Chain A
Amino acid sequence: MDVAVLVFLAILFPTLASVTNMAYRNNPNLRDSVTFVCAILAFACILGILNIVGSGISEEIVLTEVFEGLDIAFRVEPLGLLFAMVASGLWGITHVYAIGYMRGNNEKNHPRFFACFSIAIAAAVGIAFSANMLTLFLFYELLTVSTYPLVAHKGNAKAVYGARVYLAVLIGTSVALLLTAVIWTYTLTGTLDFVQGGILAGKVEGRIVPILLGLYAFGIGKAALMPFHKWLPSAMVAPTPVSALLHAVAVVKAGVFTMLKVGVYIFGIELLADTGASEWLMWVAAYSIITASIVAIMHDNLKRRLAYSTVSQLGYITLGMALATKMGILGGGLHIAMHALGKITLFMCAGAIYVATRKTEISQMTGLGQTMPVTFAAFGIGALSIIGLPPLGGSWSKWALIVGAADAGQLIAIFALMLSSILNVAYLLPVVAKGAFLKSDDNPCKGVREAPLFCCLPPAITAVGCLALFFWGGMLLDFLQPVVGDGHG
């Protein structure tokens, strides 16, 4: 099949799932199975694209021209393909998990939930395949708007407040800063296409480069760069599947993915490296990494702790971009996949614990490991992958980032990455240790069994995925090579 058709289908299937959910609102089994089939088909489409395009770059697929020389258009390239694979591949798994979670928790408004969820996936795939900044911005905002009802899902005061913060930060940054940056770029260059080597090279100089980069970096609120990270912990009021897929995979990864795209295809790493414009961003990212890790340690609520951990991990990818070295970019790209798998495992485990025991605080989970061995084993693997220990996927991206930092000669960045790994250990492993090895006197978990199969199987699968990624790491690195040019970094 044609790449264009497959790209459309990859976006169409999630949309179709959304429509089905609204149309068959009264038939839960039909709804959920159709959605699952759509998820499989969407993933199959993306694998089909992978099969055809490989690590090459496809032709541009133009839908319509909106402004002069500015289209709504798609183009497949390795970075986007990787992101699309991660987002759509994890959709099916999370969907299974979400069915278990939503039913196990007796949540309301299932059709609306799953409809918005599917639209968010469509938006994520759209972001992945965008051929220019305008298309990306379109899907970026679609993603924000479609996830808002998910965050506000519970409808109580806390959820409404959390959703408000979520929306205020995401829409606020994108409308105020990102849009300004995009239009500024357009007036400077007359195009917004993602071009190898950047479109701004030769068009801007002096102080404008760091200012523009600042508008982009803070404008992409989804990348949760401090101080615009508040939305991420706020979004944790959402049901856990949302936190898992959207706020650990699709939404935040859309943010850092956009960040990488801007760095590589709008500015071009040569421009950034030559002008040193991104150096300040590296400092901000390093600050973000360390501070968020420290904040994570102080939170007892498991989901909040994971949220701050995400803020910190997203800093890695921004850091990779800010280093403006080939290895840094590759490490950032790789980290999208590695962190996605690790973090989704952790979130799904947190949700599984909640479904089984209604516990949200880490201090209440002492001794739970004995009764929920599968969940805690998966959590442990996910945690180790995030920390970056071999033989798990996370080690590759961290290694690549450190090499990238060394290439750039930024010892501070290396230091930040090392320190953060230690902090990762400090906030993730105690959860596993307390749960698996300690025994509580007044065992709070009497009568608690393992979470339902629908809830504990998906994290187990993604945990195995973390393991598998370690062995595919080199392959992935080669796959991403064309993003930064042909030669090895």
Chain B
Amino acid sequence: MAGGTEAVAHQALEMTDHLPVLQVLIPFIAAPLAVFLGVRSLAWPIACAGAIASLVCSVVLMLATLDGSFISYHLGGWAPPYGIEYRVDAANAFVLLLISATAVVVMPFTKASVDAEIPKKDHTLFYACFMLCITGLLGVVVTGDAFNVFVFLEISSLSAYVLVSQGSHRDRRALTVAYDYLLMGTIGATFFVIGIGFLYMATGTLNMADIADRIAGQGDNRTIQAAFAFILVGMGLKVAIYPLHLWLPGAYNYAPSAVTVLLAATATKAAIYVVLRFTFSVFQPEFTFDTNVLYWIIIPFALLAMFAASLIAVFQTNFKRMLAYSSIAQIGYMLLGIGFFNLSGLTATMVHLFNHSITKAALFMAVGALVLRSGSTFYDRIRGMGKSMPLTSAVVVIGGLSLIGIPGTAGFVSKWMLVQAAFELGWWWMALLIVASSLLAVIYVWRVLEVLYLGDTAEGAQHKEAPMMMAGPMWVAALACIWFGFDTSLTLEASRVAANGLLSGNAGMAPVPTTAAGGGH
């Protein structure tokens, strides 16, 4: 009897040891499973189960790394730096949690919106792509191998192109935007590969921690600088840093509602994470170049995004497009935090990653519900929907306030951290710029609220509240916006630990990993 329990305990330990890879494998297996079973009604439950299972994995990983330690998983039992290593610390556990939690929350919404927007015969393939996209995003975040990042990036991107093109059932322009997205995304990914090639030339290794050690050993040289430039531009395309954002408004606008939610809440966030990881854990500014470079490269683009994109958002007449431009502006905030290069700044970036994600998830789901009832996202078609869709409109209010950064919402916490970071650097003028750009957010948010609540009711719309399958997830996200505006123990704490880890460059090989699991035995 005693032996039996022991065996069980041992097995359980084994399972938790494999969490980093299970995290990615579960959705990866769910995708073909949904297709090969060939039963249309099963596709969604399988996707759901996959999302929930990977959420469980990420929760356990988050709890394990909150103390600042990290977990190193050797894929196939090959020890790094030769084998591929999955390395989970607070920074990526946090992003993993964000991605998998978003996936779970939007699942019911996806069902409702896919049923309405996509022909029945494509459902299984749609869910397969959906799961593949999540696989790619999780993989990008979990892996500790530079080339592996590229592979997962392309898995998520290729499936994202397909998902965006599915909007063609509603508007044929989805095809051309998907094509543009494919071109720009591929160029971005290829730039990224070139950067990795340079890194490999300079260091002879692909393991990110190992690269970091070697860069720390050899210091600065031109190859490494070129590598950084290529990686930053390549990822800049995926992140949609302001002048490289051209694919984003179209893709968000014409993609099916569920896809927009997924992309807005997770895809750009995973890309931001890669920028963070490479900038701080791999290149380590203190070894490679003067931090001034960061100030002069990243901050101007961040400010450009914050103001130019916000300004464009102000003048939009289409709700979904407005939110897309607002996303580009908010990415500016995250970049600004990176550019500050101090603890508060990075904490702000990490926490905004999370807060903006839930905010945009709530808002884009609300847009999805509005599309379902009014058939359009143009302001003049959703006029006065506040009366007929009070639940959905209330979500728009909460999300909008969070976007502005009104206290009591998640957006406030990140804005606070960002302004605090500016003051810690003594840049009071920067603090004023940050708050000035949130004034633009006030304008574009309030335009929508006026349309929803004060306009005369538009004709031709169904005046009915969104179905529960949509309203439920929407409200989960909206309540999360409020919850994380008050209870910052999870978000700020995790962000701070993550930022600390990133700044201290703890990606190096030196520290002993908490769990050295070998997959091969």
- Residue numbers of A with Cβ under 8 A of B are 63-67, 72, 134, 137-138, 141-142, 145, 149, 152, 155, 160, 164, 167-168, 171-172, 175-177, 179-180, 183-184, 186-187
Contact = CB atoms under 8 A, between A and B. Distances in A.
Contacts, number: 74
A64 B487 contact: yes
B475 to A, nearest CB: 16
Nearest to A187: B423
B419 interface: yes
B487 A67 contact: no
Nearest 9 pairs between A and B by C-beta?
Answer: A187-B423, A138-B407, A183-B419, A176-B435, A141-B406, A141-B407, A138-B408, A171-B442, A183-B420
Contact of B442 (A63, A175, A180, A187): A175
A155 B436 contact: no
A184 B423 contact: yes
Given A64-B487, A138-B408, A145-B401, A180 B439 contact: no
A229 B432 CA distance: 22
A180 B413 CA distance: 14
Interface of B: 401, 404-408, 413, 415-416, 419-420, 423-424, 428, 431-432, 435-436, 438-439, 442, 446, 450, 453-454, 486-489, 492
Given A155-B454, A167-B446, A134 B489 contact: no
A169 to B, nearest CB: 11
9 contacts: A64-B487, A65-B488, A67-B413, A67-B492, A141-B407, A167-B442, A176-B432, A176-B439, A180-B431
Given A64-B487, A152-B454, A175 B423 contact: no
Interface SS of chain B: helix, strand, loop or mixed? helix
Contact of A180 (B407, B424, B435, B486): B435
A187 B407 contact: no
B419 A179 contact: yes
B74 to A, nearest CB: 37
A67 to B, nearest CB: 7
Nearest to A173: B439
Given A67-B488, A183-B419, A175 B424 contact: no
Given A138-B407, A175-B442, A176-B439, A187 B420 contact: yes
Given A152-B454, A176-B436, A180-B435, A141 B408 contact: yes
A250 to B, nearest CB: 18
B407 A64 contact: no
A67 B407 contact: no
A179 B435 CA distance: 8
Scoring B439, B446, B454 by chain A CB atoms within 10 A of each residue's CB, the highest score goes to B454
A332 to B, nearest CB: 25
Contacts of A65: 488-489
Given A67-B416, A175-B404, A186-B420, 16 more contacts: A64-B487, A65-B488, A65-B489, A66-B413, A67-B492, A149-B453, A152-B454, A164-B450, A167-B442, A177-B435, A179-B415, A180-B419, A180-B435, A183-B423, A183-B431, A187-B424
Given A145-B401, A171-B442, A134 B407 contact: yes
A175 B439 contact: yes
Given A141-B407, A141-B408, A160 B454 contact: yes
B440 to A, nearest CB: 11
Nearest to B447: A164
A141 B416 CA distance: 15
Given A141-B407, A145-B401, A172 B439 contact: yes
Nearest to B435: A176
B439 A142 contact: no
B428 A184 contact: yes
A401 B224 CA distance: 68
A64 B489 CA distance: 9
B435 to A, nearest CB: 5
Contacts of B436: 176
B432 A180 contact: yes
A179 B438 CA distance: 11
B406 A145 contact: yes
A66 B415 CA distance: 13
A146 to B, nearest CB: 11
A67 B446 CA distance: 28
Contacts of B453: 149, 152
B486 A72 contact: yes
A63 B428 CA distance: 31
A145 B436 CA distance: 19
Nearest to A208: B428
A175 B438 contact: yes
A293 B404 CA distance: 35
